[in-house]
Amino acid sequence: MEDKKLLQQVKTKASGWLSPEYDEETRKQVKTLLEKEDPTDLIESFYRDLEFGTGGLRGIMGVGSNRMNKYTVGAATQGLANYLKKEFAALPEISVVIGHDCRNNSRLFAEISADIFSANGIKAYLFPDLRPTPEVSYAIRKLGCQSGIVITASHNPKEYNGYKAYWNDGAQVIAPHDHNIIAEVNNISSVKEIRFKKNPALVQMLDKTIDKQFINDLLTISLSPEAIARHKDIKIVYTPIHGTGITLIPDALKAMGFTNIIHVPEQDVVSGNFPTVVSPNPEETAALKMAVDKAIETGADLVMASDPDADRVGAAVRNEQGEFVLLNGNQTLLIYIYYLITRWRELGKLKGNEYVVKTIVSTELVKNVAKKNGVNLYDCYTGFKWIADVMRQNENKETYIGGGEESYGFLAENFVRDKDAVSGCMLLAEIAAWAADNGKTIYTLLQDIYVEYGFSKEKGISVVKQGKSGAEEIEEMMKNFRQNPMKELAGSKVIFIKDFAKLTGKDLIEDETVTLDMPTTSNVLQYFTEDNTKVSIRPSGTEPKIKFYVELHSKVDSREDLAAAEVAAEAKIADVRKSLGI
């Protein structure tokens, strides 16, 4: 009965998209969906409206309220415009920055958004073509804008696109603004309320001036220019994986002084179809294969890859046998933080009020590095908007060194408020030069960090559950983990449970409940065991997945101990998975 009711609701909703307010092609596609014998595609397209998650608006492209198209993008932009006009009513002019990535329809959606903002009396600064997401954050701050958007679905498959909304500090929107924008979008009851007619006087095309300013400002974060000068000819393979990184990252590396940047020509081609990869995700081994092959061919020592909107970096380095190994996001985060804190200390920049930030699912080794060096550490939720929120709270109080997350995002500068693959690539190349100056490689540098601060092994496990039924399964899984909490993991007793949905922590040794100090609730559950294992469980905010983050710890006395520690950790992770039933 419920399925019949849902189908009827969906048909009624879809029929509304057959009205003359929608363009002919949209009406044609909706009609086809309504006439199909199998209603699955119809239901998936209309059973809900897209909402802002941890990464904003994101979905499969196509017709329907649950799809990315000119009307859902239009409603989001109209809702944001309505909210901006209320929030900044006292200003003589409201302005926004609009950027986009390489995806199919990204330019179209960016131009439609510019038209709508201008039709609402809001000045729209539009990049002339694709640009890295962090440059949009930078431009919002640099141009003194009240908001901005980026059309991107990050590393999702080619069928997806998305819409990230930013506030006047250059950070993605959080409460109350995100909820208020959604409310404004939901208040739009008809497509007639979306003002699509452009006011040309209020759309300004940006030129390369902002690119040059961005790179020049990024050069100021360099801490080892002498090391770069001595090792400027390090062979570095870089690939944008068909995305926006090609517009800035090679130029930024050259501006730093690196002279031997090797390209993967096939992947320099800008394309929303990502023709050389199954998935343009730098977390995946296959996405870096062509770049690693190029590095083997050319004798390069470092491989770097940015995702389509150039806010995350994947890297591969040579081990002691000369073979390429991929660094995971926790390892790059650890290397970045270790390097920055070490150089700040060596340069006398540590004054006692500095801080770093990581997300709650990221490696706890960052805490060890920060604590030993007298640097404050802040833990925050997954999603870089929460790192930006910590930066906002600490403005003019403490000095930001860097912050990042296990999902390959890092930010080394304080004049941007989102993760940045441009500065990430610059910094990683600099670390390679600095390590070489100290007789090391990035790989042996990481080994020495493990010896000094403890070995950790992290494993991210994603269980994919597609569509409406998948969302219900994920919800049921989270409910079960809460109602039937784990008592042990891989033979080790669970001693503490954190439930961020309730903001409570349960100490199972002392039988005490504590309140978690976080800005809001979040659907995340964490288990901590007697042997220092941490398991975090959360549904993805941007993809149809439930994510498990496993982190194990052990002590090593030398580099020689690491191989055995790695083998033991792999076996332990397999046991943890059995305990979790995944």
- Domain ranges (residues) in the chain: 1-46, 48-207, 214-453, 455-580
Indicate the SS3 state at residue 315.
Answer: strand
Question: What tokens does 518 get?
Answer: 């976080």
CB atoms within 10 A of CB 17: 23
pLDDT of residue 55: 56
d(CA 464, CA 474): 9
Contact 554, 364 (CB under 8 A): no
- Taking only the tens place, the pLDDT of each residue in 106-135 is 999 999 999 999 999 999 999 999 999 999
**pLDDT exceeds 70 at position 26:** yes
d(CA 27, CA 14): 10
- Taking only the tens place, the pLDDT of each residue in 521-543 is 999 999 999 999 999 999 987 67
- What pTM value is reported for the model? 0.94
Helices 562-580 and 442-453, axial angle in degrees (round to 10):
70
d(CA 420, CA 336): 13
d(CA 552, CA 115): 51
Indicate the SS3 state at residue 404.
Answer: strand
Section 437-458 average pLDDT: 97
Burial class (CB in 10 A: 0-12, 13-18, 19+), 111: middle
- CATH code that applies to domain 455-580: 3.30.310
Verify whether residue 154 is a known catalytic residue: yes
* CATH domain 48-207 topology: Alpha-D-Glucose-1,6-Bisphosphate; Chain A, domain 3 (3.40.120)
Closest CA to 429 of 348, 343, 349, 313: 313
pLDDT of residue 409: 97
In sequence order, what DSSP letters do the residues of 121-164 get, joined into one string?
Answer: T-EEEE-SS---HHHHHHHHHHTT-SEEEEE--TTS-TTEEEEE
- CATH code that applies to domain 214-453: 3.40.120.10
pLDDT of residue 1: 40
d(CA 379, CA 361): 9
Q: Are strands 203-205 and 160-166 parallel, antiparallel or unpaired?
A: unpaired
**pLDDT exceeds 70 at position 56:** no
Indicate the SS3 state at residue 93.
Answer: coil
d(CA 409, CA 112): 29
**pLDDT exceeds 80 at position 53:** no
Q: Which helix (H) or strand (E) holds 7?
A: helix 2-15
pLDDT of residue 305: 98
d(CA 502, CA 522): 8
pLDDT of residue 189: 86
Contact 123, 140 (CB under 8 A): no
Burial class (CB in 10 A: 0-12, 13-18, 19+), 79: buried
Q: Report whether the peptide linkage leading into residue 176 is cis, meaning its omega lies within 30 degrees of zero.
A: yes
Section 213-227 average pLDDT: 98
- Taking only the tens place, the pLDDT of each residue in 221-247 is 999 999 999 999 999 999 999 999 999
**pLDDT exceeds 60 at position 88:** yes
- Mean of per-residue pLDDT scores for the chain: 95
The distance in angstroms from the start CA to the end CA of the chain is 33
Confidence band for 353, pLDDT divided at 50, 70 and 90:
very high
pLDDT of residue 173: 93
Confidence band for 57, pLDDT divided at 50, 70 and 90:
confident
Burial 232-253 (b: 16+ CB within 10 A, else e): eebbbbbbbbbbbbbbbbbebb
CB atoms within 10 A of CB 205: 11
Question: What tokens does 54 get?
Answer: 């941890």
Amino acid type, 133: T
Same CATH topology for 214-453 and 455-580: the answer is: no
Q: Which helix (H) or strand (E) holds 504?
A: strand 504-507
Residue located via tokens 């899984």? 477
- Taking only the tens place, the pLDDT of each residue in 385-437 is 999 999 999 999 999 999 999 999 999 999 999 999 999 999 999 999 999 99
- Catalytic site residue from 65, 106, 154, 492: 154
**pLDDT exceeds 70 at position 458:** yes
d(CA 158, CA 61): 9
Q: Which phi-psi region, left, alpha or beta, contains residue 154 (left: φ > 0; alpha: ψ -120 to 50)? A: left
**pLDDT exceeds 70 at position 155:** yes
- Taking only the tens place, the pLDDT of each residue in 260-299 is 999 999 999 999 999 999 999 999 999 999 999 999 999 9
